[in-house]
């Protein structure tokens, strides 16, 4: 989708707000929201690609103006409701309760398996590499062009590289294809490559900063041999 | 266009509502939330990446392995895991300065840098660092890269996780690995700053 999340090259947003220091979590609710990737992931709400697509479907103004971890709460709600596990009216009602009773305690429940899962998933991760017998169409050194289209749904084909030509710098093997998995489809692994683009190619000779390049990872269906 | 931008109080209440319901449904527990937060507050952070960098500065064979396969080299030190399943380390030299971003979301190498700072995840940095990196580094981070040095921006659009091996500062010849690690900042591994001077 051509969403506001696809920020690369957007002008007019102003300086980067860099504080001298900040805590890892700025509020208690950020800790709970941070738990809303790995635990609902374990419960089958989403993989990482679908998780991102849920965030991308926030209203653009809310996306830009809300604190980061609200994005995570949004995508959990999106998929929880879609799967019938969560109910919008119930969330609204409970939200109202916590607005009026901000210090009300959480329900109590122990789950040693979940606690063990948290430590295990942080250590082991969730690799995206998937074996495939697909033969790579391209190799390091090939000149390729990113196909200039605007797919609906989730994609990692950022607008600022569409139609641009670069050189393959690395080949990473086959990995889960976000344009399938992020849209509710199978993992459908595809070859992933790192493509190097010059600043001039991306922004034009006049606007480009001197002596610079941008590396961007593409899945094989994103590219074609440069003409 | 109608959209309500929630206040902090409203967000906190919404998140509590989701948390409470998911606890009741067997999806979350407060103990697991607290443990996960504690890991990234106290255990997994840029001190791990700094240890890797210091080892690379003192051990040329390790550095070669780190550049060849960062995931495996970090695993030698017991470092790796979530959001760093496939890591690539890119080296700063006299001729090249690297900087990482994720223009589409917030991808960042958690096992070596911990969770990203808010500015890394915010729209300003993600929008501008690919278009005017020298200007962002100079004006927003006070870090000047001469035009003679190539700026390479790594946009983490796939699950590959890039991070920067900064150049070893001058005047550190006598320092051991531990003293060197203390010079390595988070921003020097993002590419928005230099290591501290000895």
pTM score of the predicted model: 0.98
Residue A116, C-beta contacts closer than 8 angstroms, at least 6 positions apart: none
Q: Distance between CA B169 and CA B148 in Å, rounded?
A: 19
Q: How large is the average pLDDT for residues B90-113? A: 98
pLDDT tops 90 at residue B2: no
CA-based nearest residue in chain A for residue B10: A99
ipTM of the complex: 0.98
Q: What angle do CA A187, A191, A192 make, to 5 degrees?
A: 100
CA distance B102 to B155: 5
CA distance B181 to B183: 5
> HEC string of A124-164?
HCCCCECCCCCCCCCCCCCEEEECCCCCCCCCCCCHHHCCC
Burial class, A152, CB count within 10 angstroms (exposed 0-12 / middle 13-18 / buried 19+): exposed
B interface mutation test: which of A114, A177, A211, A218 has the most B CBs within 10 A?
A211
Please provide residue A216's backbone torsions phi and psi, each rounded to the nearest 5 degrees.
-140, 135
- Chain A hits for B153, Cβ within 8 Å: 212-215
Question: What percent of chain A stands above pLDDT 90?
Answer: 99
> pLDDT band at residue A90, thresholds of 50, 70 and 90?
very high
Give me the mean pLDDT over the B40-50 stretch: 98
Active site residues per annotation of B: 102, 105-107
Note whether B179 and B80 are within 8 A (CB).
no
- At residue A73, the pLDDT reads 98
pLDDT tens profile B125-134: 999 999 999 9
Which domains does chain A carry? 28-124 (1.10.472.20), 143-225 (2.30.30.50)
How does the average pLDDT of chain B come out, rounded? 98
Contact B56, B68 (CB under 8 A): no
Instruction: Between A41 and A20, name the one with better pLDDT.
Output: A41
Give CA–CA dist A158/A150, Å, rounded: 10
Residue found under tokens 């830009």: A64
What average pLDDT score do residues B72-77 get?
Answer: 98
Closest approach of chain B CAs to the CA of A130, in angstroms? 12
Question: For an interface test with A, which of B83, B121, B142, B158 has the most A Cβ atoms less than 10 Å from its Cβ?
Answer: B158
The answer, for A22 touching chain B at a CB cutoff of 8 Å, is: yes
What would the mean pLDDT of A140-148 be, rounded to a whole number? 98
Q: What tens digit of pLDDT does each residue of B149-183 get?
A: 999 999 999 999 999 999 999 999 999 999 999 99
Residues 156-215 of A with CB under 8 A from B: 156, 158, 160, 170, 172, 175-176, 192, 194, 202-203, 207, 209-215
> In this complex, do A126 and B82 lie within 8 Å of one another by their Cβ atoms?
yes
Residue of B nearest to A128 (CA): B159
Which residues are B97's β-sheet partners? B151
Q: What is the C-alpha radius of gyration for chain B, rounded to an integer number of angstroms?
A: 19
B21 chain-A contacts, CB cut-off 8 A = 86, 90-91, 94
Put simply, the answer to whether B13 touches A102 (Cβ < 8 Å) is yes
Span A107-142, pLDDT tens digits: 999 999 999 999 999 999 999 999 999 999 999 999
**Cross-chain Cβ contact B123/A13 below 8 Å:** yes
B40 with A69: CB under 8 angstroms? no
Residue of B116, B94, B93 whose CA lies nearest to B106: B116
Contact B165, B91 (CB under 8 A): yes
CA nearest neighbour of A135 among A187, A181, A190, A188: A190
**Chain centre to alpha carbon of residue B140:** 17
Chain A interface disruption, residue of B4, B7, B12, most A CBs within 10 A = B12
A18 contacts in B (CB within 8 Å)?
Answer: 117, 119, 140-141
Take residue A180 and report the two structure tokens written for it. Answer: 């399938």
Contact of B191 with B97, CB cutoff 8 Å: yes
Taking an 8 Å cut-off on Cβ atoms, the answer to whether A214 and B130 are in contact is yes
* Domain limits, chain B: 8-42, 45-190
A5 confidence band (pLDDT: 50, 70, 90): very high
Q: Minimal Cα distance from B41: which residue of A?
A: A24
Residue B1 pLDDT greater than 80, yes or no? no
| Per-residue pLDDT, B33 | 98
- Termini Cα distance of chain A: 26
Beta pairing partners, B87 = B161
Q: How many Å lie between the alpha carbon of A227 and the closest alpha carbon of chain B?
A: 24
* Topology (CATH level 3) of domain B45-190: Nitrile Hydratase; Chain A (3.90.330)
| Contact (Cβ atoms closer than 8 angstroms) between residue A128 and residue A176 | yes
Distance CA B173, CA B155 (A): 33
CB of A84 less than 8 A from some CB of B? no
Q: A147 vs A164, A170, A223, A226, B78, CA distance in Å?
A: 8, 19, 5, 10, 40
**pLDDT average, residue stretch A201-226:** 98
Spatial contact of A164 and A143, defined as CB atoms under 8 Å apart: no
């Amino acid at each position: 989708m051509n969403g506001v999340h696809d920020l690369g090259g957007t002008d007019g947003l102003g300086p980067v707000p860099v504080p001298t220091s900040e805590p890892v979590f700025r509020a208690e609710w950020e800790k709970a929201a941070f738990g809303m990737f790995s635990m609902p992931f374990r419960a089958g709400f989403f993989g990482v690609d679908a998780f991102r697509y849920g965030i991308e479907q926030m209203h653009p103004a809310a996306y830009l103006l809300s604190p980061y971890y609200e994005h995570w709460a949004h995508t959990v709600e999106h998929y929880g409701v879609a799967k019938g596990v969560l109910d919008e009216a119930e969330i609204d009602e409970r939200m109202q309760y916590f607005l009026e009773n901000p210090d009300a305690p959480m329900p109590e429940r122990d789950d040693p398996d979940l606690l063990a899962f948290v430590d295990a998933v942080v250590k082991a991760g969730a690799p995206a590499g998937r074996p495939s017998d697909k033969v790579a169409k391209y190799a390091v050194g090939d000149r390729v062009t990113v196909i200039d289209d605007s797919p609906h749904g989730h994609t990692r084909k950022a607008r600022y590289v569409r139609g641009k030509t670069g050189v393959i710098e690395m080949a990473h093997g086959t990995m889960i294809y976000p344009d399938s998995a992020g849209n509710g489809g199978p993992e459908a692994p595809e070859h992933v490559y790192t493509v190097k683009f010059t600043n001039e190619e991306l922004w034009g000779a006049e606007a480009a900063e001197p002596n610079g390049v941008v590396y961007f990872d593409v899945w094989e269906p994103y590219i074609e041999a440069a003409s | 266009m109608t959209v309500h931008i929630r206040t902090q109080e409203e967000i906190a209440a919404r998140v509590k509502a989701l948390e409470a319901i998911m606890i009741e449904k067997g999806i979350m527990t407060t103990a697991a939330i607290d443990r996960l937060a504690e890991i990234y507050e106290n255990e997994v952070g840029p001190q791990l990446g700094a240890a890797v960098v210091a080892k690379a500065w003192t051990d040329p064979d390790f550095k070669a392995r780190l550049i060849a396969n960062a995931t495996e080299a970090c695993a030698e030190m017991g470092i790796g895991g979530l959001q760093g399943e496939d890591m690539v380390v890119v080296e700063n030299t006299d001729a090249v300065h690297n900087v990482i971003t994720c223009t589409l979301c917030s991808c960042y190498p958690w096992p070596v840098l911990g969770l990203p700072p808010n500015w890394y995840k915010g729209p300003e940095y993600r929008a501008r660092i690919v278009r005017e990196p020298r200007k962002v580094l100079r004006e927003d981070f006070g870090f000047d890269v001469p035009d003679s040095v190539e700026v390479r921006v790594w946009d983490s659009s796939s699950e590959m996780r890039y991070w920067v091996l900064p150049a070893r500062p001058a005047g550190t010849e006598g320092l051991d690995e531990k003293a060197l690690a203390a010079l390595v900042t988070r921003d020097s591994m993002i590419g928005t700053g230099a290591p501290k001077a000895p």
